Amino acid sequence: MVSAKILVVDDEQGIRDSLCGVLADEGYRVAAVASGEEALRHCSLEVVELVLLDIWLPDIDGLEVLRQVRQLPAPPAVIMISGHGTIESAVRATKAGAFDFLEKPLSIDKTLLAVRNALEQQRLRVQNQELRQQSRTELVGTSVPMRALRQQIGIMAPTNGRVLIFGESGTGKELVARAIHAQSERATQAFVELNCAAIPEELIESELFGHIKGAFAGASDAKLGRFSRADGGTLFLDEVGDMSLKTQSKVLRVLDEGRFTVVGSNEPVSVDVRIVAATNKNLDEEIAKGNFREDLFYRLNVIPFYVPPLRERKEDIPLLALHFLREFAAAYGRKCDEIHPEAIEALQAYNWPGNVRELRNVMERVVIMSPGARIVEKRHLPAGIFRSHKPLEQSSFNSLHEARSAYEKDYILKKLNEHGGNVSRTAEALGLERSHLYRKMRSLGILDREESEDVPSEAPRR
């Protein structure tokens, strides 16, 4: 396990040298700077768990440094130190978020005790955050694929092997990554994620490695990169197949050397990060097309995982649907906590092209749009979910009109399925007005008049 990183901030060389020596002897990783500007720059580029901060500094007041440090995405614990300590300054420091206040000359025993207590509180804070996110690491399901997946996670999570997770969009690849982290020896450290497909090419290098102030136009402040934020923990690279070749080469170098250079800086930064990557693409095909580096693939694919689509584990649908129903019922203050067997049957008959994410969205919509329901019934489900249809056979039609109507019905049902039963989005995809699509659905027998009057507007999407 990586030891805690401590930053000593004091303008006196003797104090810095003394504290660094004592803390290093205790097994901590220690760095030291002489000014507030240097302290803020260091904390913006590397993850620091504890700062020993002098209140009197030559440039920026220690209390101002404390306030800025506490606003960082992963704020460290701070212990203030001063040779001119007063009750007033101690109170101000505590109100600003300092863990403790030590007076000079520093007692080694008192300093080490304060350091241990501050780091313990920091670890408890991280653990509490993990507990609040516990539902996000729960893999729901009793099917054979899910039991095998949990068993595989249990075997390899405690190792440091890199993981590459394959699966369609919406299958829960991030959930698997979080479960791996939660069961690893790095569980008390940070889990940092980056969706490679969501970051523009010109910004992804800064997101991964960070940048210094003024590194490029618009870089008004220094930025801590994802690799630095994940130091000691896990970095989850989602949709890694969408990463550009230029970025791939830089990530490959970090994996080989364990260090990188912050954008705009020449100083290498060393990190200890476990990489978990995920993709919905066939990387063998991407390699053949020249879109993905083969050497990076082999670095990432130490332990491959496959997350099956929901259609391959339909026996998990009742448990998943109930899990999401109760989650959203609690979130929206509803009392609905059961699902009628007919509704379950309809959910299991649907093919779920959007996988678990689509099922989750459907249950959220049901909770929102059926505020008085205590049991989810078939009628509460969106259009297209509970209507299965068979492939069309040309020989079964007696007229051109009958064949055209059948094909129209089949096509509309497919589009409804693709859009999770959302009529507005389906109408947009078909190039129709929403009211026109409703009339068409009634005329084709997809929706009867009584039912169409009960269909609510689409739920707001989060």
In the chain, the amino acid numbered 427 is A
Three-point CA angle 340, 441, 346, nearest 5°: 20
CATH number for position 342: 1.10.8.60
Task: Give 421 or 184, the one with higher predicted confidence.
Answer: 184
Task: Compute how many other C-beta atoms are within 10 angstroms of the C-beta atom of residue 362.
Answer: 25
Residue 177 sits in a domain of what CATH number? 3.40.50.300
Domain match, 209 and 279 both: yes
Is the pLDDT at 84 greater than 80? The verdict is no
Domain containing 334 equals 309-381
Query: Are both 419 and 338 inside the same structural domain?
Result: no
Tell me the C-alpha distance between 323 and 368, whole Å.
16
Q: Return the SS3 of 372.
A: coil
pLDDT tens-digit readout, 329-388: 988 899 898 999 999 999 999 989 899 999 999 999 999 988 889 999 988 998 778 554
pLDDT at 196 > cutoff 50: yes
In whole angstroms, give the CA distance from residue 85 to residue 10: 15
Task: Give the Cβ contact number of residue 423 at 10 Å.
Answer: 22
Domain count, the chain: 4
Examine the domain organization and report whether 299 and 336 are in the same domain.
Answer: no
Q: Which residue has the tokens 């068993």?
A: 151
Residues 409 and 460 placed together within one structural domain of the fold: yes
Q: Identify the CATH number of the domain in which residue 408 sits.
A: 1.10.10.60
Is there a single domain that holds both residue 154 and residue 300? yes
Task: Select from 462, 195, 167 the least CA-distant residue to 310.
Answer: 167
Asked whether residue 386 is assigned to any structural domain, the reply reads no
Residue 134 pLDDT more than 60? no
The CA-CA-CA angle for residues 436, 440, 442, to 5°, reads 120
Average pLDDT of the chain to the nearest whole number: 85
CATH for 115 = 3.40.50.2300
Q: Specify the higher pLDDT residue, 279 or 335.
A: 279
CA 98 to chain centre: 29
The reply to whether 334 falls in a domain is yes
Q: 461 and 414, same structural domain?
A: yes
Range with the poorest average pLDDT among 166-170, 267-271, 420-424:
420-424
In a domain, 387, yes or no: no
In a domain, 284, yes or no: yes
Same domain, 169 and 239: yes
Which pLDDT score, from 0 to 100, does residue 73 have? Answer: 74
Assigned domain for 316 exists? yes
Residue 428 lies in a domain: yes
Say if residue 179 is in the same domain as residue 296: yes
* 49 and 170 assigned to the same domain: no
* Report field, pTM of the whole predicted structure over 0.75: no
Q: What average pLDDT does this structure show over 156-181?
A: 94
Same domain, 202 and 285: yes
